[in-house]
Every structure is written in C-alpha cells, then in structure tokens.
Structure 1
Amino acid sequence: MSRPSVPDIGLVYFESLEDQSFSDFRRYIEADGLAVRVESRPDPGPYAGIEWLIPTAVMVYLGRSYFDAFLKEAGKDHYHILKKALHSLSSRFFGDGAPKGRIVFSKGKAESENPRYSIFYSVVAQLGDGFQVKLLLQSDFDDELCNEAQNLFLDFLSSVYDGTLDMSSVRGLPDAVPVGNTLLIAYNSKDKILEVIDPIAQHRQPGNKS
C-alpha cells in the first residue's frame, strides 16, 4: 500500500543531525490509523531568502488531517500525547546544551551571528487552501518557554480546526498578512500570548497587504 502524500504528522531533519530523539518521537506518537513520517534530507548549501522562512534543521509538520480526521476518531488522549512528545523532542534544541549556529546566505554572509529565532527547530501546520502556519521559537528560550509556546500553538490550531477560534487569542491575527503561503507566529513570553510576525512589514506600502 502506498503511503499518503501528506502525513498526519511528519518530522524532517538534516542528515547531519541524526539523533535518537527522532525515533523516540515517532515511537511515542504512533497509533492505529495515524500516518506518521520521519525522514532526513541532505544538509543545505547557502540560502537565498528571508531568514524566518528558511526551513529549520528539524521541522515538525502537522497536517490538517490530524485535527480534522484522526483526533475525531481517537479522541483527545492522543492530543496530550503529542504535546508531551513535542516537549521531549524540542528540549534537545533549547536551554543549556542546545546547539548553536548561524545561517549562511548565497552572498557568503551570515544574516545574523545570533539568529533571533531558532534555526534548528520549528513547528509547521497545514491550514488548508494551500496555506500553512509556522511557529518560530526564540533562540534564547529555555525548555519550559519553548513548551509554553508549543502548547499555545497546538491549542490555537485545535480552535482553528474545530471552529472555536477567538481571533484575539493571537495578537495581530485579524490583520495578518501571510508571506507567500506562510503565516509566521511567535510566542511573546512576557505577555504569554502568540503574535503574528511579519518579516517584511517595513517594506510594505501603507494600505498594501499583498
């Protein structure tokens, strides 16, 4: 039987970061009827593009089918399993002992010696109609702040898919402008709220949201 083109939950990582935590993540979340895919990709060369849109070294992907179909059958127990699995996985990349790095762009320069958002780990979710939302996690977050952010993000996604979304639950959401097909969201740890991030806001003409 061929596997689905888009998994319910996926994890993609750079080959050089092979780690036992990736297999542990898969084993922890596996369940009957759940399409899970964990796979590596070659390490990239220099990038050309917006730093916050560049794929992180480890990316967790959440398909709409996970919320729309699987959870309706499996119930909320797996939702809590996913939260714990994400916490365990992300703890490898935040806090003491977290890997450090920078992004090299095609001009041979690093845009930032200390990137504001992690270049090692992110979570991306499918919204439908060709759009996705990416959770950016600040590089200086510790394990617990990262977990707070992920839990809020999952709750946001759940409310999107079950039709209970409160637009005020994410700062800037009513006026959000995706970049390409991606909406960027980060966690404001001071105010304990998710907020929309627009990396090209300063380049937009007044009144122009495209």
Structure 2
Amino acid sequence: MNEQEAILIAVPENYPKELYGFIEEELNSSNFKVRTIYKNNGVMAGIEWTLSTIVVVYILNSFFDTLLKEAYKDLYKVTKSQLKKFISKNREIKHKYITATKSEKKLSNNYDQSLTVSIEAIVHKNLKIKVLFNESVPESEMDAMLEGMFEVLKYIYLECQKNESDVSLEGNDKQELFLLANPESKLWEILTKQQMGERYNMKK
C-alpha cells in the first residue's frame, strides 16, 4: 500500500462502474491518491463482524493528515461531497448474506444496516473505525447524517493525535470500533465488537 494513498475503493470485479468510477476520476491527484481495488465475488458463509460489505471505502491515515490542513480545506469539501454521493448511490442497492445452515452465528431479523456499502477509517495505526449505514434513514437526511459522520471521524482522529499513548496496543492488533447512525436521536453511536454482537447477533 502506497503511503500517499488516501482512499481505496474495494468493489467486486463485475460491479457497475457508474456506482464507483467517479470517485477515482474526480479525486485522484499527485498529492491525494485514490485507487480502486477489485475483489472476487462469492457466497459469504457465516457472519463475522470483520466481514466486509459488498463495497468498502477505506479511508487511510493520510486522508486525515492531508485534508485537515488549512491549505486543503477546499479539497476536503469536494472529497466529502464525492464520498456522500458514493455512499448514497450504493446504499440504494440491496444485498443479502447467505449463511451456512449449521452456522452458529446469524444476523438477527432486526439488522438494519446496509450490507452493500461501508467505510473503514484508519484513524490511528492501532485503531480502525468501521462505519455502517442504516437503511431506514431517509434519503432527505443522508447529507446531514454523513456530515455528522465526518465530524465524528475528525474528532476521533484528532483525539488520537493528542493521546497517542492511550491508543497504543501490544503486538500488531488493531482495535476495531463501529460507528452507527441512530435514526431517532440523529446522533452517531460508537460500539465495540461485543456490543455489535449483543445488538444484532443471535445464537441458533
């Protein structure tokens, strides 16, 4: 992975280009690298919270290092606009996971997050934020919801820079947190992997 790369777009090989191609075309430059990577399709057997959605946007540490500088504030606005467009277009596409019959873990019937698109933001070398998008949020509220998401990610990133020692872990393991929008409160919630499992998983 190139250190200058700021955004990676991971899509299936046969995914419609009109749903993702504009990101790289509009944003890629010599100082702000955006790249599309392709992954194979396949039936997902079993549910793991590390399992990717069909399409994933990887926001890398250099995204924050670059765009939060005053000199790049205009690029930051354009980048947010393009990512909002990308997320909205792909959230409209509905997918389902097929789990193995004998799998001990299955999604509960109240799972309300998109299985099509998600974001994985690397805000620190030891901290990854996985952003999921609630399918019940109306399109008319998406812009405000996503603006709030960027503000939360920015806040977490800046806090990590100020409190470097607090997010250091032994070994190479990354701590993983989940960011979910609450349609009722209009706020974003931060959940641990265990809390995600308690909210959405059910034993067979």
d(CA) in 2 for partners of 1:203, 1:31: 39
- SS of 1:89's equivalent in the other structure is helix
Match of 1:192, as an amino acid?
A: K
Q: 1:129-159: CA deviations, max 9, x gaps?
A: 3320011111222333333332112112222
Instruction: Name which structure has the greater RCO, CA cutoff 8 Å, separation 6+.
Output: 2
Change (3 A) 1:32 1:6: closer
Give the structure-1-normalised TM-score. Answer: 0.74
Aligned counterpart for 2:54 among listed residues 57, 61, 72: 57
Give yes or no for contact 1:103–1:112 (8 Å, CA) kept in 2.
Answer: no
Aligned counterpart for 1:127 among listed residues 100, 106, 123: 123
Give yes or no for contact 2:178–2:191 (8 Å, CA) kept in 1.
Answer: yes
Change (3 A) 1:11 1:72: same
Give yes or no for contact 1:33–1:70 (8 Å, CA) kept in 2.
Answer: no
CA displacement at 1:5 relative to structure 2:
5.9
Match of 1:103, as an amino acid?
A: Y
Change (3 A) 1:157 1:20: same
CA displacement at 1:114 relative to structure 2:
7.2
Q: Percent identity?
A: 20
Give yes or no for contact 2:53–2:115 (8 Å, CA) kept in 1.
Answer: yes
d(CA) in 2 for partners of 1:202, 1:142: 23
- Give the corresponding residue for 1:106: 100
Give yes or no for contact 1:102–1:112 (8 Å, CA) kept in 2.
Answer: no
Change (3 A) 1:48 1:203: closer
d(CA) in 2 for partners of 1:41, 1:162: 32
- Give the corresponding residue for 2:14: 16
d(CA) in 2 for partners of 1:87, 1:71: 18
- SS of 1:186's equivalent in the other structure is strand
- SS of 1:17's equivalent in the other structure is coil
d(CA) in 2 for partners of 1:47, 1:99: 21
Change (3 A) 1:9 1:203: closer
- Give the corresponding residue for 1:33: 31
Aligned length: 185
CA displacement at 1:113 relative to structure 2:
6.4
Aligned counterpart for 2:112 among listed residues 116, 132, 135: 116
Give the structure-2-normalised TM-score. Answer: 0.76
Q: Which runs of 5+ in 2 are unaligned?
A: 162-173, 199-204
Match of 2:9, as an amino acid?
A: L
Q: 1:55-79: CA deviations, max 9, x gaps?
A: 0111111111111135427421111
Give yes or no for contact 2:176–2:192 (8 Å, CA) kept in 1.
Answer: no
| Structure 1 range deviating more: 6-15 or 59-68 | 6-15
CA displacement at 1:22 relative to structure 2:
1.3
d(CA) in 2 for partners of 1:29, 1:83: 10
